Structure 1
Amino acid sequence: MRISPHARAPGLIQNRANTTAGTPRMTTPLPPAPDARRTLMLLRISAASLLLALLLLFTPSPRELAALPLGAALLALLPLLRSLARTEQAKASAASAADERERQLLDAIEALPAGFELWDAEDRLLLCNQRIREDYPQVTEYLVPGLRFKDVLRQSLAAGLVTEARGREADWLAERLAERGQRLRPRLQQFGDRWLHLYEQRTASGQLVCIRLDVTELVETQHALARAQAAAQAERQLLERAVDAMPAGIEIYDEQDRLLLANRRVVSWMPHLDYAQMLGKTFAFMLEQTRAAGALPVEAHGMEEAWMAERLARRGRSEQAHLQQLSSGLWLRVSETRTPEGFLVAVRQDISDLVLKERELQASQAQLQAIIMTAGVAIVTIDAAGHMLSCNPAVERLFGHRAGEMLGQNVSLLMDEPDRGAHDHYLRRREGSDGERELPLLGRTREFNALHKSGRSLTVQVSVSEIRGPQGKQYVGVITDLTERKQFEIELQHANEQLLRLSTTDALTELANRRLLMQKLEEEWRRGLRLGTPLSLLLVDVDHFKLYNDHYGHQAGDSCLVRVAEALRASVGRPTDVVARYGGEEFVLLLAQTDATGAMAVAERCRASIRQAAIEHAVSPQGPLLTLSLGVISAVPLRGGTASQWLAQADLALYQAKAQGRDRAVAAGLFNPI
C-alpha cells in the first residue's frame, strides 16, 4: 500500500515529536529523495520548455529561427521537447490522481466505525485511525510509527488493561504473539470493561491488517440471556418438583391439549398408561389408549363411545369439578382449569374415603333428614373436611343452589371473601395438624359473608354444633339470613356519615368548613407540641372579590369561589394537608410537619394555580385576571401559646400582603405566644 506524503486524515498515526499542547498532528514517513540524474533531466527539460515558450511567444519564422544562435538545434529538438512535456504532464496528472485516491482511502479508514491498524511485515506500526485512540486512551502515546506490536502489548499488560491476561501475563503474551495473524476466526478479547472482536489478516506483501470491533453490548446480551436461560431451567425444575410433591394428581396440557407434565400421583393411579411415552400426545389419544386397556371410569361402562364424546366436548369448559370412579374402585374429584395462555391444568383428588363416609352417613341420617327438611331455617351438615353432606330446602332457597350442586362440595362454596379464604386456610392448617384442630365456631354464633348463586352478596348468622358418631365428627350449621337487617344497618350508618359530612363540609366548595378546620388545627397543634415538629398555615384571600361580585353577580361569584377551591386543593400534595373555607372569600391551608420553606413553596403553587386557571376579573385594580393574597406562618408549637393566637398572626401577615399591594405571599415573623 502506498502512503502519499500529501495525505492528511485527522486521527491517523502520529509521532510524539509532532505533538504540541496535547493536540495530535498526523505525520507519515517521508518518501526517499528522488534520483539526482532524474532531477537534472527535469531541470534541463524545464529550461528548454521555458526557452521554447519564449520563442513561440515571439513566433519567428523557421528561416529566422534557423538564423538565430542554437536556432537550428532547437528547431530539431522541438518535437522531442513537446513529447517530453506531454509525458511529464501525464505523469504529474497520474501522481495527482494517485494522491487523491490515497487521500480518499485514508478518509474512508478514518470514517470506519471500528478500530483500524496496519502493521508492516516485521509487525511495526504503520498507521491507525482515531477510533483506535478513543478505544485505547491508556496506550495512545505508544502508538507511534515503527513501534512493534509486542511493545504495545507489554504496555497494555503493565497497565493491567487486558482482563484475560491478569496473573499470567508472560504466558498470555507468548500465546498472543504466536497466533498473531494465524486465526481464521475473529478473536474475542476483554479490554478493561469492554469486549472486542479482533480480525487480523496478512496481505500478500506480509503486512497485517487489524480491525477491532466493539461487541460489548452483544457479549453482555449473551451473558444476560445465558443467565435467564439458567434461571428459567432452575424455575422449571423447581416447578416440576413442587408439582410432583403435591398431594393431588396434577396434569398440564398445552393449548393443543398435548400432555406436558404429569406428577407421580397421577402415574400411580393410571398404571395402564406409559406416561413417558404419553408426553406430547393429545388427551384424546390418551383417552383412546385408556379405552383400549379397558380402564375407562365405571360410569362409562356400556356407553364408551357416547361417554368419550361427552368427555371431550366438556373438556376444560366447566369450572365445576366432577367425580369419577376408576375401574380400580378409586373415587377422584376432577377439576380442569384453563390458564390465560390456553393451557389446561387438571387436578385429581382422591376422595374415596369421603364418598364412603357419605354413603354410610346417608343411611343413619334418614330420621334426622325429615326434621331438617321441614325446618324454616337453613340447615347444612358438613364433614370434618368441610364437605356438605346434606342441606334442607331452606338452604336452596337462601343460596339459590340446588341440593345436587352443593352435596359433596366444600361449604366454602356458599361463602364470600374474605371468609372463604379464611375457611380454606383453616382447612389447610387442620390437615397439616393431622386433623386435631377443633372447629373455631363451635358453641358460638358468628356473622358470615355469604354468596348467592347469582353472585349477590348475603349476610348470614351461623351457629355450629358437633355430632359424634361411628363415622367420626360431623357438624351441623344453622344459618339465618341477616341480609335485610344488615342492609338497614348499612343505610343507617351511611346516613350518619352523610350527616357528619354535611356538618364538617362547606356546601359550596365541598372543602372542610371552619368547624372542621379548627378541630384539625387543635389536633395538629397538640401533635406539634408533643413531637416538636413544625406546623404551617396559609390564610388566603381573593383579591377585590367584592368588586367581582358587584360586576359579575353573586352566582358567578359562587362559581369563582369553586374554581379557587379547586386550584387550592390541587396545590397541596399530601392527604394529611387540610384545605378549608374560612369564610366568604377566605380560605385556609393547614400543613402538618411543614417548615417555612415548604409553606412558601405551597403558597407560590397556589398563586401559580390561580394564574393558570386564568379567571377573568375585568374590574380588578391588579389586572384582568383574578389574584390571591396569602399570609403564611410556620413555627414549632410552643407551650403557653394557642392555635387561635397562631391563626391571628397568619391574619396579620395576610393584612401585610394586602398593604404591600396584594397578589403576593407574606410570611409572618417568628411566633411568640407571649
Structure 2
Amino acid sequence: AALEAVRDPVTGEIEDFRCLVVNPVISKFFNQSREELVGKLVLKRFLNRVAPELFDQFVAIANTGTSLEGDLEYTFGDYRWHNFSAVKLGDGFAVTVRDITARKQIELELREANKQLREVADLDALTQVTNRQNFSDRLRQELTILARQEQPLSLILVDVDNLKSHNDTYGYLVGDNVLVRVAQALKQAVDHPNALVARYGGDEFAILLPRLCLEKAIDLGETILQTVHKLAIPHSPTNPEAIVTLSIGIVTQTPTFHANPESFVAQAYQAMQKSQEQGGNLCCVL
C-alpha cells in the first residue's frame, strides 16, 4: 500500500496520511473495503485504536526517510498479528503488511510448552515441590539480591523423624506417601511471598524465605510442626499415639557479597541436628 502525507497548510506538519494504493491484505488489515480506503484519511484514526505510538514513527519516515519494521497485534472480532515494513515513498511511505497470526500462535504455543517443561524440570517427581537443583540456583540468586538490598534471608531445613524405621515397618510406598503429605503440609503452612519449598534430600525439605526475619521464621517453623502434627500420620502399628514428627533447623542472615551458599545451608543443618539430638519434633536455631 502507498500513503501520502496530508500536511497542515500553515505549519507544514503532517496531520494524517491519505491512502493512494490498497491491496487485499491492507483492506483486511484495516477491516474496510478497497473503495472505502482509497483517497481517505484512515491511518491516524486506525492507529489511535491499536497503537497510537506508531503514527509518529510513520511521520518520521515521510520526513526523514527512515524505515520501520515491526509486528502489530490487535483485535477485530478475533486476535490477529501482522508484520509490517515501511519505507519512504514521495511525500509519504509505502508499507507491506503480512498476516502472521498462524505463525505467532505456533510460537506462543511452543513458548507455553517450553515453560511447562521448565516447570516440570524444576519439580521433584515424587512430592511436586521444587527440586534441589532449582533450590540451589534460587539460593545463589537470593544471596546476591539480598546482599545488595541489605535484607535478611531465612532458611528452614526440615527432616522427617525416623523415616527409615517407618519405611521398614510400612514399606517404601507408604514412606513415599508420607513425604508427599509432608510436602503438601509445608506448602499449606508457608504463605510468605517469594518463599520456595524444596525437597532437599531423601527425607529432607528446605524452605527459602527472602526478607523474613528470624523471629517470624521461628513462628513459621512452629506452625509447620503443628500442621504436620495435626495430620497424625501413624508411625507404629503397635502404638497409635506414635505419629510422624519433624526436626527443624532455622538460620537467618543478612548476606554479604561474599556469602557462601554451602556455608549457609551447613548452618541450618547444624540447627536441624540439634533438634534431632533432642528427640525431634522441635525447632532449633543456630
Deviations 1:219-244 (A, max 9, x none): xxxxxxxxxxxxxxxxxxxxxxxxxx
Q: Which AA in structure 2 matches 1:403?
A: S
After superposition, the Cα gap between the structure-2 partners of 1:521 and 1:438, relative to the gap in structure 1 and judged at 3 Å, is: closer
The separation in 2 between residues aligned to 1:420 and 1:441, in whole angstroms, is: 21
User: Which segments of 5 or more consecutive residues in structure 2 lack a partner in the other structure?
Assistant: 7-14
1:385 corresponds to which of 12, 16, 35: 16
Q: What aligned pairs does 1:262-411 form with structure 2 within 5 A after superposition? A: 379=1, 381=3, 384-385=15-16, 391-396=22-27, 399=29, 401=31, 403=33, 407=37, 410-411=42-43
2:222 corresponds to which of 598, 604, 612: 604
Task: Please report how far the alpha carbon of residue 552 of structure 1 lies from its aligned counterpart in structure 2 after TM superposition.
Answer: 4.8
Task: Please report how far the alpha carbon of residue 586 of structure 1 lies from its aligned counterpart in structure 2 after TM superposition.
Answer: 0.9
The separation in 1 between residues aligned to 2:137 and 2:209, in whole angstroms, is: 14
Match of residue 51 from structure 2:
422
Task: Please report how far the alpha carbon of residue 459 of structure 1 lies from its aligned counterpart in structure 2 after TM superposition.
Answer: 2.1
CA contact (8 A) 2:154 2:214 kept: yes
Match of residue 73 from structure 2:
449
The separation in 2 between residues aligned to 1:450 and 1:529, in whole angstroms, is: 43
CA contact (8 A) 1:580 1:588 kept: yes
Deviations 1:203-225 (A, max 9, x none): xxxxxxxxxxxxxxxxxxxxxxx
The separation in 2 between residues aligned to 1:569 and 1:413, in whole angstroms, is: 51
Deviations 1:92-128 (A, max 9, x none): xxxxxxxxxxxxxxxxxxxxxxxxxxxxxxxxxxxxx
Task: Please report how far the alpha carbon of residue 413 of structure 1 lies from its aligned counterpart in structure 2 after TM superposition.
Answer: 8.1
CA contact (8 A) 2:16 2:44 kept: no
> Are 2:139 and 1:502 equivalent residues in the alignment?
no
The separation in 2 between residues aligned to 1:402 and 1:526, in whole angstroms, is: 55
Match of residue 195 from structure 2:
577
Match of residue 439 from structure 1:
59
The separation in 1 between residues aligned to 2:271 and 2:35, in whole angstroms, is: 73
Task: Please report how far the alpha carbon of residue 493 of structure 1 lies from its aligned counterpart in structure 2 after TM superposition.
Answer: 3.4
Choose 1 or 2 for highest CA Rg: 1
The separation in 2 between residues aligned to 1:405 and 1:541, in whole angstroms, is: 75
Task: Please report how far the alpha carbon of residue 617 of structure 1 lies from its aligned counterpart in structure 2 after TM superposition.
Answer: 1.6
2:155 corresponds to which of 529, 537, 542: 537
Structure 1-normalised TM-score?
0.35
After superposition, the Cα gap between the structure-2 partners of 1:400 and 1:426, relative to the gap in structure 1 and judged at 3 Å, is: closer
| Secondary structure at the counterpart of residue 439 of structure 1 | helix
| Secondary structure at the counterpart of residue 583 of structure 1 | coil
**Higher percent of residues as strand:** 2
2:84 corresponds to which of 449, 462, 470: 462
2:246 corresponds to which of 628, 631, 639: 628
CA contact (8 A) 1:464 1:477 kept: yes
CA contact (8 A) 1:560 1:615 kept: no
After superposition, the Cα gap between the structure-2 partners of 1:650 and 1:591, relative to the gap in structure 1 and judged at 3 Å, is: same
The separation in 2 between residues aligned to 1:588 and 1:581, in whole angstroms, is: 6
Match of residue 131 from structure 2:
513
- What do you get for the CA RMSD once the two structures are aligned? 3.6
Q: Which AA in structure 2 matches 1:422?
A: A
User: Which segments of 5 or more consecutive residues in structure 1 lack a partner in the other structure?
Assistant: 1-378, 431-436, 669-674
After superposition, the Cα gap between the structure-2 partners of 1:640 and 1:440, relative to the gap in structure 1 and judged at 3 Å, is: closer
CA contact (8 A) 1:464 1:476 kept: yes
1:647 corresponds to which of 262, 265, 280: 265
Match of residue 233 from structure 2:
616
Identity among equivalent positions (%) equals 29
After superposition, the Cα gap between the structure-2 partners of 1:622 and 1:475, relative to the gap in structure 1 and judged at 3 Å, is: farther
Deviations 1:23-45 (A, max 9, x none): xxxxxxxxxxxxxxxxxxxxxxx
The separation in 2 between residues aligned to 1:405 and 1:563, in whole angstroms, is: 68
Task: Please report how far the alpha carbon of residue 492 of structure 1 lies from its aligned counterpart in structure 2 after TM superposition.
Answer: 4.0
Q: Which AA in structure 1 matches 2:136?
A: M
Q: What aligned pairs does 1:75-224 form with structure 2 within 5 A after superposition? A: none
CA contact (8 A) 2:161 2:247 kept: yes
After superposition, the Cα gap between the structure-2 partners of 1:399 and 1:529, relative to the gap in structure 1 and judged at 3 Å, is: closer
